């Protein structure tokens, strides 16, 4: 994993070990310097900055950053919320240093001047109970300001591991958040995604150990990003069979199949649950469409469940698919059938081929026999439990999609936007995962790569996207990355505009291929 997600216990242990290695206050000094640079980068000269400081080390980081910012010519005010002075030794030292430098401190944020930047340094990961008292007023003040909102480590009120509001009380809403030492899972899930805004990480020169949890990154699926060999044919990239599409739901299976084809599968057959299936797909005539039962042993990957319905025929085909030795992606109606039949679930657990289950929270709740709120309250643990229960790779969809293995290795996906909240995007994801399995990528690369690209496809977009746009844009994202490009260099890289990469790299060949005059 390229970006580790430590639990709060692991983080506390790491900080404790560092305290025995480094001189007192070193981590806070580093944090203050990094935070000041981060804020300064967003400011014009001589900006007015108000920092809300809590009584713990998060507040100490705020006081330390304030001293650096004041030295750079900014007008900085620290609000000691509710008059609560620092409690930890490092924070007390930072507070005294701020006073010694002539720093301005007040207790009521509403007395502060109009600010260009407001900074939340109240609790960070240290919050264990709902916000109350003077801190409620400080949160309201923070959210009301017409300013740039920045949070240190994690917005106040967000559970650092689960992304939920502690006690259901809404806290600070930031435009930008700077994680310290380790990325915080809560910034990428549930309400934490909206509350955190753009998230960056500084490890403060600490060697962060490997852990069982991480954020999905392109380093996790490097083989998918390699250019294809010229000496290949459609058989090289595998055959996907998609089973689903009952009456009124045909589009679900078609979208999964189109997506598998768009992301590189050599060929795709759609087995529809219809008496009179269409002869072909007029939008994607490359697809093979039938209602005849396919020999599943000849497939390289199978998707089952998209718009499948719950007929006896559908259940039979689900049993047939589970009994194959072919990688299987189980989605939608197939997940519901499994949740209602213990024998089916037991047969999934007994499979000897790779199995991926792609539930949304409602489907996960049915499989675990719980309430949806319980699933969302701890998305990572829910995904891990379902993976252990079924033996499958579990892709728990939602804000901060979670991928969990039976071994308990877990990833949170940082990509995605509200554009995925539309019909069919789950079918598209199932087809993308199958495509990568068919192309013989390993199970981790195939799953993580599809999930990351699926979310990356809608970066910089908030509306105006439908499900099949996601597959098109995901393929475009993959193309850019394979030629050595960086999608972050463009606001919306998945339109039809040309892109030109480094002259000395593969981008030169790509530019020639695309007819660029700069090549």
What are the tens digits of pLDDT across the range 90-102?
999 999 999 999 9
- Closest listed residue to residue 441, CA positions, set 265, 299, 255: 265
pLDDT band at 163 (very low <50, low <70, confident <90, very high): very high
**Which tens digits make up the pLDDT trace of 385-395?**
999 999 999 99
**Which tens digits make up the pLDDT trace of 312-346?**
999 999 999 999 999 999 999 999 999 999 999 99
pLDDT at 515 over 50: no
pLDDT at 209 over 90: yes
pLDDT at 505 over 90: no
Q: Are the beta carbons of 398 and 441 closer than 8 angstroms?
A: no
d(CA 425, CA 455): 10
Alpha-carbon separation of residue 11 from 8, 59, 239, 367 (angstroms)? 5, 18, 45, 32
Percentage of the chain lying above the pLDDT 70 cut: 93
pLDDT at 497 over 90: no
Please state whether beta strands 239-246 and 301-304 pair in parallel, antiparallel, or not at all (unpaired).
parallel
409, with CB counted inside 10 A (0-12, 13-18, 19+), is: middle
CA atoms within 13 A on the CB side of 518: 11
pLDDT at res. 92: 97
pLDDT at res. 27: 96
Segment holding 301, helix H or strand E: strand 301-304
pLDDT at res. 128: 86
Name the token pair of 340: 């209602």
Mean pLDDT computed over 357-379: 98
**Which tens digits make up the pLDDT trace of 219-232?**
999 999 999 999 99
pLDDT at res. 141: 98
pLDDT at res. 48: 97
pLDDT at res. 493: 54
Mean pLDDT computed over 161-165: 97
Stated pTM of the model:
0.93
d(CA 8, CA 156): 15
pLDDT at res. 461: 85
pLDDT at res. 502: 46
pLDDT band at 6 (very low <50, low <70, confident <90, very high): very high
Mean pLDDT computed over 148-169: 97
Residue 40's SS3 state is helix
**Which tens digits make up the pLDDT trace of 444-457?**
999 999 999 999 99
pLDDT at res. 507: 41
Residue 246's SS3 state is strand
Name the token pair of 181: 């030492």
Segment holding 364, helix H or strand E: helix 361-368
pLDDT at 513 over 70: no
Mean pLDDT computed over 469-482: 95
pLDDT at res. 126: 84
Q: Are the beta carbons of 393 and 354 closer than 8 angstroms?
A: yes
pLDDT at 181 over 90: yes
pLDDT at res. 1: 52
Percentage of the chain lying above the pLDDT 90 cut: 89
Q: Are the beta carbons of 274 and 247 closer than 8 angstroms?
A: yes
pLDDT at 171 over 80: yes
If you average pLDDT over every residue of the chain, what do you get?
93
Q: Are the beta carbons of 379 and 162 closer than 8 angstroms?
A: yes
d(CA 157, CA 167): 9
């Amino acid at each position: 994993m390229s970006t580790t997600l430590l639990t709060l216990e692991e983080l506390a242990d790491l900080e404790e070990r560092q305290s025995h290695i480094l001189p007192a206050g070193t981590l806070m000094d580093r944090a203050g310097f990094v935070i000041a640079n981060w804020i300064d980068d967003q400011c014009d000269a001589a900006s007015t900055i108000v920092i809300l400081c809590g009584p713990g080390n998060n507040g100490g980081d705020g006081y330390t950053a304030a001293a650096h910012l004041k030295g750079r010519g900014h007008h900085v005010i620290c609000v000691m919320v509710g008059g609560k002075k620092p409690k930890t030794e490092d924070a007390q030292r930072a507070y005294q240093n701020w006073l010694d430098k002539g720093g301005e401190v007040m207790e009521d944020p509403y007395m502060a001047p109009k600010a260009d930047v407001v900074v939340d340094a109240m609790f960070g990961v240290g919050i264990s109970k709902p916000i109350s008292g003077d801190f409620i007023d400080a949160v309201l003040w923070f959210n009301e300001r017409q300013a740039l909102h920045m949070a240190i480590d994690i917005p106040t009120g967000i559970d650092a591991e689960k992304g939920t509001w502690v006690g259901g009380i809404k806290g600070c809403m930031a435009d930008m958040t700077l994680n310290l030492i380790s990325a915080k899972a809560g910034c990428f899930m549930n309400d934490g995604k909206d509350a955190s805004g753009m998230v960056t990480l500084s490890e403060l020169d600490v060697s962060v150990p490997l852990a069982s949890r991480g954020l999905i990154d392109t380093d996790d699926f490097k083989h998918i990003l390699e250019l294809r060999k010229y000496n290949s044919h459609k058989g090289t990239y595998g055959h996907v069979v998609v089973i689903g599409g009952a009456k009124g739901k045909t589009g679900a299976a078609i979208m999964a199949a189109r997506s598998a084809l768009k992301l590189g599968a050599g060929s795709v057959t759609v087995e529809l649950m219809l008496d009179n299936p269409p002869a072909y797909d007029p939008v994607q005539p490359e697809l093979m469409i039938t209602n005849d039962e396919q020999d599943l042993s000849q497939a390289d990957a199978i998707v089952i469940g998209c718009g499948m319905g719950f007929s006896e025929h559908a259940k039979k085909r689900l049993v047939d698919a589970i009994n194959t030795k072919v990688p299987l992606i189980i989605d939608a109606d197939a997940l519901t059938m499994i949740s209602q039949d213990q024998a089916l679930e037991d047969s999934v657990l007994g499979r000897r081929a790779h199995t991926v289950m792609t539930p949304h929270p409602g489907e996960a709740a049915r499989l675990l026999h719980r309430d949806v709120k319980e699933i969302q309250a701890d998305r990572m643990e829910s995904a891990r439990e379902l993976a252990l229960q079924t033996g499958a790779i579990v892709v728990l969809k939602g804000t901060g999609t979670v991928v969990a293995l039976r071994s308990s290795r877990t990833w949170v996906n940082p990509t995605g936007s509200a554009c995925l909240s539309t019909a069919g995007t789950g079918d598209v994801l199932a087809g993308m995962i199958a495509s990568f399995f068919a192309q013989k990528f390993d199970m981790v690369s195939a799953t993580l790569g599809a999930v990351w690209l699926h979310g990356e496809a809608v970066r910089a977009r908030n509306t105006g996207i439908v499900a099949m746009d996601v597959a098109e844009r995901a393929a475009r994202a993959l193309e850019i990355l394979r030629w050595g490009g960086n999608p972050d260099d463009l606001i919306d890289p998945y339109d039809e505009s040309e892109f030109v990469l480094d002259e000395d790299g593969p981008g030169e060949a790509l530019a020639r291929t695309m007819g660029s005059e700069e090549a």
